[in-house]
Each structure stands twice: as C-alpha cells, then as structure tokens.
A and B are shown apart, each in its own frame.
Chain A
Amino acid sequence: MKVDRRSFLGLGLGAAAGIAVSPVGMKLTDDSSIWTQNWPWTPVPVDGEVTYDNSVCSLCPGSCGISVRKIDNRPVKIEGREGYPVNDGGACLHGIAGLQYLYDPSRVKTPLKKNGDKFEEISWDDAIAIVADKLAEIRKSGVPEKLACIADKEQGSVSGLLQRLLKTFGSPNFYTMPSLESYLELTAATLHGEGKTISFDIENASFILSFGAGIIEGWGSPVNCFKANASRKERHAKLYQIEPRLSNTAANADKWIPVKPGTEGDLALGICAVILKKNLFNSTATANFKGGLNKFGALLQKDYEPLKTAEITGVKASDIEKIAIMFAKSKMPVAIFGKGRGDGAQSLKELVAVHTLNCLVGNINKKGGAFVQPKPEYLKFPNESMDNIAKKGFATTKLGPYMNQLVNKVNASSQPVIEALFVHNANPCYSLHDSKSVKQAIGRIPFVVSFSSFLDETAKEADIILPSHTFIERLEDVPSCAGIARTVVGLTKPLVEPVFDTKNPGDSILLIAKALEGSVAQNFEWETYEECLESVVPDIWDSLSEEGFAVISEGLPSGSPGVNVSFLAKNPSTIQAQGDFDLTLIPIDNMRLINAGVPASPFAIKTVSDKVLKGLDSIVEINPLTAKGFKDGGYAMLTTPKGSVKVRVSINEGIMPGVIGMVEGLGHTFDNKYVSNKGINVNELIGPIIESGSGLDAAFGIKAKIAKA
C-alpha cells in the first residue's frame, strides 16, 4: 500500500515534471492561440488584382457618379466618383452601402409565381408566357385600357419602354409615383405654361429661403445639395429654414423659423404681400405677370398682411417683414419648396406661392436664382405604330391624374377597373399615404406583375415577379432631375455578373412585348435592351459610353418666361389636417433612412440614432411642453384617425409644441431581419387629403393624440 502510493505519487510527479519541461505544453498553448487567430468561421476575404470601375447610383433621384473598387472583378467598395458633374467625389451612405443590396440573400432570386399565399419559382420563359397570355386575353376582350402601370418616374429609357408598351397596347393608364420632379413640372406648368421644369441654383444663391426643403436630409439630388450647402460657408451665403421642426437643415441654417405645419404657403404669400406693399419687387419681372396681378395684390393685402399671416403661421409679423426685406434685397435670393416629403404630399398652393417669390424678385433664370426651362428631352424613340385596338384604348380617359385617383377608383368599383398592373421600381403599398387602402387596391387588381428586385410590400401583392438586376448589375440611363441646376444623364453599368437569375427590366419589357406579337411586338424590334438604349440616345451615346455621363444643359437658361398668377388669384384655400385631435403628427425625414426606394441597408440602419429606433420601437419627437407627464424614452399610444400604434417618446426641444414628429422609412414588413419589422410605417397613420383645384394628395400630416401606454 505504502509502496504503491509512493510509486504512484512519484510517477505522477515525474510525469507532471516531464510534461512541464517538455515542449508539448508550449506547443499546445501556442497552437491553440494560433487557432483562435484563424477561426474557420471568421471569413478571410480573397485577395487579387485591384481595379476601379465607374457607374451611376440609381437608388434615389440624385443619380450620383460612383467609383467601384474591385478585387479580381469582385466589387468590394463603392465610393463617389470624383469629377462627376452631380456629386464630384462624395456619396451618401445608401449609395456607399450599395453592395449590401447586391448580395442581399433576401433578394428575389428567380421569377416567381403566386400560388395561393405562396410564391413558387418558375422559369423566365414560363413567366413571360404567363404575362403575355394574360395581356393577350385583355386585348382580345377589347379593353386594353384595363392594363395599368405604376413606375417610379417618367424619365429614362426603361420608363420610356413601359410607356411605349402601354401606348401600343392601348392604355393611357401610366402612373408615376409622386416625385419632386413631377411637382417641379406641375409648378412650372401652373405659373409658366406646359412643357417646362424648374431647378434651383443653390450653389450660387446668396440667400436661400427654404420652405421645409431638407437640403441636407436628402431633398433633390442629395449629395449635390450637401455640397452646395457646405459651400455656403466660404461663399457667406445665408440659409433660412422654415419648418415646424429643427431638422438637420434647420440646425445647419443661419436661422430656423418654426412655422405651424401646413401654413408654409400662407407664409410665402405673406412675404409676397410685404414685398408688394414695400415696393421691393423687381418691376421688370412683374411686367411679365399676367392672370390678374392687381387682383392678386389686393388679395394679398387683404388676407395676408403681416399680422394676419402671423396669426395663421405662428411666425411673428416683424419677422415676416424682416425676411421679406432680406429676401428682396439680397443679391441672389432663391426660395425653394419641398415641404413634407418634398413631393409625397404637396399642396399646389404652397408650391406656387413659394415660387411666386422667385418671380416677384426677378431671380428667374439669373445666377443663384431659379431656372425655368423646357424639360430635357434626350430620348429619341421611333414613332409608335398603333393598331385599332390600341388607338381606341389609348384614347379612353385616364382614370385620374395621380395615383390616389387610381387607388380610389379601384377600391370604389365592384368590377375590376383594372385587369392587369405593372409595377416597376415603385413600392406604393409602403410609401403612399394610407398604405393599407393602397394595398387593398393592388390586391383587388386580378393580375399584378412586379419587376422588383426585392420581395417588398408591393411585390408581395404581385402574381408574377420578374426580378430585376440591381443597379450594380444593370445597364440604364439615369437622368438627374430633382431640381439641380445642371442636367446630367448618367450611365449605370453592369459592374458584376448578375448574382441571381434576374434580368434588366428593359429586357423583361422587350420579352413581354415580343411575346404579345402583332402590332405591339412591331414597336419593339430591338434584340436587347442594350441595343435599344444605344439607338434611343443617339446624340449622347458616345459621351455616355466613354465618359459615363453626358451633360445636356448647363449654365444660365435664356429668356424670361411669363408668370401667370391666376391660380393664386383665385385664393385657393389652405389644406387642413384631417381629424380633430389637438396635436399634429408630421412625418420627419432622416438622411440615414430611405423613405422611397429600397429600404435602408443594414449599414444604414446601423447608423440610425437610438432616439429614432430602439429595438423594434419607433420613437416620436415631442416638445417637453406637449409631452407633460411623459418620460423620455417611455411608451405611449399614438392615435390618428387612421389608427393607433404603440411608440416611444423622445422629449425634444427642437420641435414645435403641439407637433409630433415621426420618422419615415421604418416599419417595412418583409423578410429581412436586419432592416424589416423595425418601427412603424408612418404612412399607415396618415390619410390623403385631396387639394381641390390640383387633385394632389396634399396631406402634410394628420391630427393626432397621444396617451400613456
């Protein structure tokens, strides 16, 4: 026993000592640490040859030039393209995060067909055949006008192809989502006549009077606006920002002028009144006014004299006078509009009132002012040939000028008003007001075809999805619109082989048209979209393909267009928010989120403040005077006539008492855990209000109340 223990102990000690002095322990220790440095579950990016490629970002109307760094042809980084006439180097966070869209595993990877509640994968051939059969059937029954299309915009060749398809098919029902560009055109049409558009020379203006336009929150062409804004510092140019909330633009401005939501148009008219009364207008310019300048002037002096305007808008009368004097006496003043969403909900009264300021001080087509010129037309499609069915159908009346009429008519009728719908690059089920009724309308359309790259809220309502390449994978002409002073057409180029079984939407449209045969097909004789694009941009193709862009207008436009004030002279009324609660809910912008277009990327969501999104909760901004009894960060029930939601409260001195601000761009409901099901889509809480005289949805917000939850 004793001997055993002794030898056992000896052996044990010996072994321990042996192992301790042998290199085994050291080697194992070393190996284990080397292993931690090369954990197989931590990816090791592959190295290779570095190249750079230029393209254009089309995630928003900004259309920035981008430069993409690649490793052995694998894109790894997107940056702004230096020397590009829109953005010259910088890029916004969404464009920079572009590769997260490209490789997003929740993309639509192949054509899909709705079967009950589920989508099933089908081949491109089958998908095109199903679409063509359905369309042929509609045509055969003699109601081609029952095909409708919703696209993001009117500009560009893909939209051009869709419009051509509808026309030769026989339908006038082509709709676009509201866009800043469409409002610029509408404002120009109302004041200066059809066929024109407006842009603002912000980068040269010496005094910018902005009626809520978030020039550093993504208004217009975002990067271009950022640069113009930043250059104010060296140029000593002033910015006055009029809006109910201390947005980043307001914070960055020389002065923030809080205004009661929805009364910006009245404020603009009040300023007009002071300018007229004090004879501060430019008499050469007003010589061009028609449609009743005297009547307009009298109206202003009666209804918009400073004290009255002050009462309506909440801006002090003395401030109104000061602003008017500053604006009129400034060397290069410009008044810009873009309240609310800039275009999502907009009252024509306000757009026109603001632009009238430009007209009064005579800064139209002057350096640093507002440019009024014909819409840029660079696409040269061959003339369409239409058969009788097409002619008859195309001649029927469009269901209404805007999306909201389309939605109302579809929802109001017991019969299908629309038999088939194309949706391209648009997500109306998310981004239109009262998105639930939009969704209902889309759901009532028997056959919906989506070209979306993602299974977004609208694509989920589709019967067939013909998935498109993302902007990294596709060829497309992208005109810069969005109110920048220079018109540039950029070329988005495929930078990488398509990651999934998707197509350029241009090619998808060509395939559908060809499958329709007959007179429709005759209008689409290009083999590929690439061939089509080259042939419809004959004047600028060389520049597009060599430089990656073409500048189609630059510098001061000539001439001074007439100004017709008859719309305002009729004294249109100001839009009131729907409902009779005490508070007003307004949507707020946030550069780090996307409210139109693809949802923000995981990177962009990551940058969103915890005062905007906390966990899965949306946070609303309330002034401490309004939020009496609420705890910062605490829960609350927010109710509008459209519904109630649970939110959290952020007590914020930067918002007017009585106003609640809620960010746009959250509350997506599709399957992507990094970006979806976070927060609430504010569009569900706001209902459209149609402005009489324009037909526009002009709801700048909605009445609301808030209670403890």
Chain B
Amino acid sequence: MKQENNKAYKFGMVIDLDKCTGCGSCMVSCMSENNVPFKEDESNKKDSITWMRVYKLTNDKSFPDTQVAYMPRPCQHCSGKGGHGHSPCVSVCPATATDYGYDTGIVSQIYTRCFGCRYCMGACPYHARYFNWWDPKWPEGMENYLSPNVSPRMRGVVEKCSFCYHRFQAARDQAYAEGNKDEIAEENYQTACTTACPAGAIVFGDLNNPEHMVHKIVKPDPHPDPRNKHVIGKSRNPKVFRLLERLGTNTKVYYLSEREWVRKSGDNYLDGEWDKIKNHHGASVSHD
C-alpha cells in the first residue's frame, strides 16, 4: 500500500477563528481565482457553489450572552483513517475522478472524468463538494475575466476546493526552473483564500515542514491518537482542533481559537464528554 512518506509534502491550513471576521473575502477570492460561476438567485445555500464557505457559529446562549464566530470551510483535504489516503470521498468514487495525492496530500477532482454520481457528496460530512446542477453561464462579456489556469466545469459534474492546485503547479515549475526540485518555498505556494484574507486569519503551508508556519502552529502529532487509532496528526497545540476529528477523516485544515465553545463546536460530544476530552492534545502528550 502507498504511504505518505516524510519527503512528500502535506499541504494544510490553519484558520484562526478569533481573527476571522466573516467578511467573505476568502469566498470571493476563491470564486474569482477558480472560475466559479454564479446565478441569479444564490440564496438557496444548498445549491450555491462556494468551494470556500463561511459558516456562522453561535454559542446558543440568549441575549446578551450570545456569541458568534465564523468558520471558513474549504475542502478539508482529508487523508482518511490512519492518514492512508482513503478520504471519505476518494474511497467511494467509482471512477477515480477524485484522488488523493500522496505527494501533496491534496484531494484532486478531475471534472472531465467525473460522471456525476454524487456518491462523493454523500460521503463528505463537510458539504465541501458541489454539483453543477446547471450549465455555468456568464453574462455576455464576463467570460473575459476567466482564468486559463482553472478550466470551467460543465454541467453534471462535481467540483470542490483544490487548495488552488494550479498555484502548486506554478510554484513547482518555478522551483524546478530555479533548480530547486525538492523544495517549494512557503511564500511561493499560497492559496487564493489565504492571500486574500484581510484579517490574516488563514495560514497555509506544508505540515511536514517544521519551518512552515502551519507546522509551527499545529505541531502535528505523528503518532496515532491512543483514544482513537484512526486519528493521526492531531495537534499538540491545545488551542487547535479539527472538524469532526473523531470520525477519523484526518483533515488537513486545522482551526485555532482561544474560545472553548468554539473549539467544542468543532465536533460532537456526548454529555460530559467534552470536559474529559478537551485537555487531551496529541498522543505524545499522554505518552509522557
């Protein structure tokens, strides 16, 4: 079986939910970067293509103790149970139209191969996948702003956040051209949502590279979580969590917050469970 080796990249993201303002720049930057279409009515959020979607979370308390936080959600680029690359969506796609990149950790989506069975959408608990229910249409003249780096999708296929894969390709080409085959500089590969964020809430980089900011913030634990052998790469930073970590999806998008209620809303807990679990961060912590 193929394994992620240490030399491979493992691109990931950390989003600071205390800094995120819910402004939506990341959403628009993503749409503009990736030729995402738009239609007349986008107020039904269940058929509105937003590779990056910003959810609004509340602490469910009444006035004036209510609190609100925003949770930007790109594709989580799950590496699946044990981190073996069987993300929920990849493992179900019958046509290999979505695939796990063992060299990058990026979950790809091949629009021309996808035949639109939508099994992957059912499998993804994050609603990160979007189906092209309609033909994409741009008002006359607006096709002029479309970028050649990302092909527009046809009706009937699924699309999702690619971690701006074309930017990875460009950075890799640049690294090659500079004779630097094995190393893409952190600043040379940044996603469009990261660079757009006016609050600097998103940090992107190689989780395998200790020099990269994402690694420094997350401090991913290389050992499986002793409480759940499927979970790998748990953060050793007590303020960092992942969405639905307990399912063993092993996402590579991490979230950061000082607020306990925000961290708690990242997953589901039985009554009283959170208080036992909240201080557990990474296997090595409990190993020593």
Q: Do chains A and B touch in the complex (CB under 8 A)?
A: yes
Interface of A with B (CB < 8 Å)? 36-37, 39, 41-48, 69, 71, 74-80, 87, 89-93, 96-97, 99-100, 102-105, 216, 222-223, 226-227, 229-230, 233, 246, 248, 251-252, 256, 258, 499, 591-592, 601-611, 613-615, 623-625, 653-657, 673-674
Query: Which residues of chain B have C-beta atoms less than 8 A from A97's C-beta?
Result: 28, 32
Query: Which residues of chain A have C-beta atoms less than 8 A from B32's C-beta?
Result: 77-78, 96-97, 99, 603
Residue B68 is within 8 A (CB to CB) of chain A in the complex: yes
Docked complex Cα distance between A118 and B275 (Å): 68
Query: Which residues of chain A have C-beta atoms less than 8 A from B2's C-beta?
Result: none
- The answer to whether B144 and A233 have CB atoms under 8 Å apart is no
- The answer to whether B199 and A230 have CB atoms under 8 Å apart is yes
Query: Which residues of chain B have C-beta atoms less than 8 A from A105's C-beta?
Result: 139-142
Among B40-48, B207-215, B219-227, B263-271, which stretch is in contact with chain A?
Answer: B40-48
Among B85-93, B98-106, B146-154, B240-248, which stretch is in contact with chain A?
Answer: B146-154
- The answer to whether B22 and A96 have CB atoms under 8 Å apart is no
- The answer to whether A606 and B42 have CB atoms under 8 Å apart is yes
Rounded to whole Å, the gap between the CB of A21 and the closest CB of chain B is: 25
- The answer to whether A614 and B64 have CB atoms under 8 Å apart is no
Rounded to whole Å, the gap between the CB of B25 and the closest CB of chain A is: 5
List the A residue with the shortest CB-CB distance to B54: A607
Docked complex Cα distance between A78 and B196 (Å): 9
Among B4-12, B55-63, B228-236, B276-284, which stretch is in contact with chain A?
Answer: B55-63
Rounded to whole Å, the gap between the CB of B41 and the closest CB of chain A is: 6
- The answer to whether B200 and A251 have CB atoms under 8 Å apart is no
Docked complex Cα distance between A382 and B156 (Å): 63
Given A43-B138, A80-B196, A91-B196, 8 new contacts (CB under 8 A)? A43-B146, A45-B143, A76-B148, A229-B199, A230-B16, A607-B24, A607-B50, A623-B63
Query: Which residues of chain B have C-beta atoms less than 8 A from A611's C-beta?
Result: 56
- Asked whether A655 and B63 contact (CB < 8 A) given A45-B152, A80-B196, A229-B21, the answer is yes
- The answer to whether B141 and A604 have CB atoms under 8 Å apart is no
Query: Which residues of chain A have C-beta atoms less than 8 A from B139's C-beta?
Result: 103-105, 674
The interface residues of chain B, by DSSP majority, are classed as loop
- Asked whether A227 and B199 contact (CB < 8 A) given A216-B23, A653-B58, the answer is yes
Docked complex Cα distance between A591 and B200 (Å): 16
Residue B27 is within 8 A (CB to CB) of chain A in the complex: yes
Listed A/B pairs (14) with beta-carbon separation below 8 Å: A91-B29, A91-B196, A103-B139, A105-B139, A226-B23, A227-B200, A251-B67, A602-B38, A604-B28, A606-B50, A625-B63, A653-B58, A655-B63, A656-B63
List the A residue with the shortest CB-CB distance to B69: A251
- The answer to whether B62 and A624 have CB atoms under 8 Å apart is yes
Query: Which residues of chain A have C-beta atoms less than 8 A from B38's C-beta?
Result: 602-603, 606, 674
- The answer to whether B142 and A103 have CB atoms under 8 Å apart is yes
Query: Which residues of chain A have C-beta atoms less than 8 A from B50's C-beta?
Result: 606-607
List the A residue with the shortest CB-CB distance to B53: A607
How many interface contacts (CB-CB < 8 Å) are there between A and B?
A: 199
The residues in B between 114 and 162 inclusive whose CB is less than 8 angstroms from any CB of A are 135-136, 138-148, 151-156
List the B residue with the shortest CB-CB distance to A672: B139
- Asked whether A47 and B198 contact (CB < 8 A) given A246-B68, A251-B67, A674-B139, the answer is no
Query: Which residues of chain B have C-beta atoms less than 8 A from A614's C-beta?
Result: 43
Query: Which residues of chain A have C-beta atoms less than 8 A from B70's C-beta?
Result: 248
- The answer to whether B29 and A45 have CB atoms under 8 Å apart is no
Docked complex Cα distance between A670 and B27 (Å): 26
- The answer to whether B44 and A610 have CB atoms under 8 Å apart is yes
- Asked whether A89 and B195 contact (CB < 8 A) given A71-B147, A592-B23, A655-B63, the answer is yes
Query: Which residues of chain A have C-beta atoms less than 8 A from B141's C-beta?
Result: 103-105, 499
Docked complex Cα distance between A248 and B21 (Å): 6
| Closest A-B pairs by Cβ, 3 of them | A90-B198, A251-B68, A45-B146
Docked complex Cα distance between A657 and B66 (Å): 13
Query: Which residues of chain A have C-beta atoms less than 8 A from B184's C-beta?
Result: none
Query: Which residues of chain A have C-beta atoms less than 8 A from B175's C-beta?
Result: none
Choice from B35, B68, B145 contacting A103 with Cβ under 8 Å = B145
Residue B218 is within 8 A (CB to CB) of chain A in the complex: no
Query: Which residues of chain A have C-beta atoms less than 8 A from B21's C-beta?
Result: 216, 226, 229-230, 248, 252, 591
Residue B197 is within 8 A (CB to CB) of chain A in the complex: yes
Query: Which residues of chain B have C-beta atoms less than 8 A from A608's C-beta?
Result: 42-43
Interface of B with A (CB < 8 Å)? 16, 18-19, 21-25, 27-29, 31-33, 35, 38, 40-45, 48, 50, 54, 56, 58, 61-64, 66-70, 112, 135-136, 138-148, 151-156, 192, 195-201, 258
Docked complex Cα distance between A233 and B20 (Å): 11
Docked complex Cα distance between A618 and B256 (Å): 33
- The answer to whether A592 and B198 have CB atoms under 8 Å apart is no
Docked complex Cα distance between A252 and B41 (Å): 30
Rounded to whole Å, the gap between the CB of B189 and the closest CB of chain A is: 15
Docked complex Cα distance between A674 and B112 (Å): 28
Query: Which residues of chain B have C-beta atoms less than 8 A from A655's C-beta?
Result: 63
List the B residue with the shortest CB-CB distance to A613: B43
- The answer to whether A591 and B22 have CB atoms under 8 Å apart is yes
Query: Which residues of chain A have C-beta atoms less than 8 A from B192's C-beta?
Result: 77, 79
Query: Which residues of chain B have C-beta atoms less than 8 A from A613's C-beta?
Result: 43
- The answer to whether B148 and A258 have CB atoms under 8 Å apart is no
Docked complex Cα distance between A12 and B141 (Å): 52
Query: Which residues of chain B have C-beta atoms less than 8 A from A623's C-beta?
Result: 63
- The answer to whether A79 and B148 have CB atoms under 8 Å apart is no
Query: Which residues of chain B have C-beta atoms less than 8 A from A625's C-beta?
Result: 63
List the A residue with the shortest CB-CB distance to B151: A44
- The answer to whether B145 and A75 have CB atoms under 8 Å apart is yes
Docked complex Cα distance between A181 and B74 (Å): 37
Docked complex Cα distance between A357 and B198 (Å): 30
List the A residue with the shortest CB-CB distance to B144: A103
- The answer to whether A222 and B43 have CB atoms under 8 Å apart is no
Rounded to whole Å, the gap between the CB of A1 and the closest CB of chain B is: 47
- The answer to whether A230 and B145 have CB atoms under 8 Å apart is no
- The answer to whether B40 and A96 have CB atoms under 8 Å apart is no
Docked complex Cα distance between A656 and B66 (Å): 11
Choice from A37, A96, A222 contacting B29 with Cβ under 8 Å = A96
Docked complex Cα distance between A610 and B45 (Å): 7
- The answer to whether A104 and B154 have CB atoms under 8 Å apart is no
- The answer to whether A233 and B154 have CB atoms under 8 Å apart is no
- The answer to whether B40 and A673 have CB atoms under 8 Å apart is yes
Query: Which residues of chain A have C-beta atoms less than 8 A from B45's C-beta?
Result: 610
- The answer to whether B66 and A674 have CB atoms under 8 Å apart is no
- The answer to whether A609 and B56 have CB atoms under 8 Å apart is yes
- The answer to whether A100 and B43 have CB atoms under 8 Å apart is no
Query: Which residues of chain B have C-beta atoms less than 8 A from A45's C-beta?
Result: 35, 143, 146-148, 151-152
- The answer to whether B40 and A674 have CB atoms under 8 Å apart is yes
Interface centre among A591, A606, A625 (most CB of B within 10 A): A606
Rounded to whole Å, the gap between the CB of B192 and the closest CB of chain A is: 8
- Asked whether A96 and B28 contact (CB < 8 A) given A71-B147, A591-B21, the answer is yes
Query: Which residues of chain A have C-beta atoms less than 8 A from B135's C-beta?
Result: 39, 41-42
Rounded to whole Å, the gap between the CB of A152 and the closest CB of chain B is: 22
Query: Which residues of chain B have C-beta atoms less than 8 A from A36's C-beta?
Result: 154, 156
Query: Which residues of chain A have C-beta atoms less than 8 A from B145's C-beta?
Result: 74-77, 99-100, 102-103
- Asked whether A77 and B144 contact (CB < 8 A) given A37-B154, A607-B24, the answer is no
List the A residue with the shortest CB-CB distance to B44: A610
Rounded to whole Å, the gap between the CB of B174 and the closest CB of chain A is: 12
Query: Which residues of chain B have C-beta atoms less than 8 A from A248's C-beta?
Result: 21-23, 68, 70
Choice from A80, A93, A601, A615 contacting B23 with Cβ under 8 Å = A93
Interface centre among B50, B66, B201 (most CB of A within 10 A): B66
- The answer to whether A76 and B147 have CB atoms under 8 Å apart is yes
- The answer to whether B28 and A607 have CB atoms under 8 Å apart is yes
Query: Which residues of chain A have C-beta atoms less than 8 A from B29's C-beta?
Result: 79, 91, 93, 96
Rounded to whole Å, the gap between the CB of A462 and the closest CB of chain B is: 24
List the A residue with the shortest CB-CB distance to B24: A607
Rounded to whole Å, the gap between the CB of A702 and the closest CB of chain B is: 22
Rounded to whole Å, the gap between the CB of A407 and the closest CB of chain B is: 33
- The answer to whether A226 and B67 have CB atoms under 8 Å apart is no
- Asked whether A603 and B69 contact (CB < 8 A) given A89-B195, A592-B23, A615-B43, the answer is no
List the A residue with the shortest CB-CB distance to B60: A653
Docked complex Cα distance between A611 and B54 (Å): 13
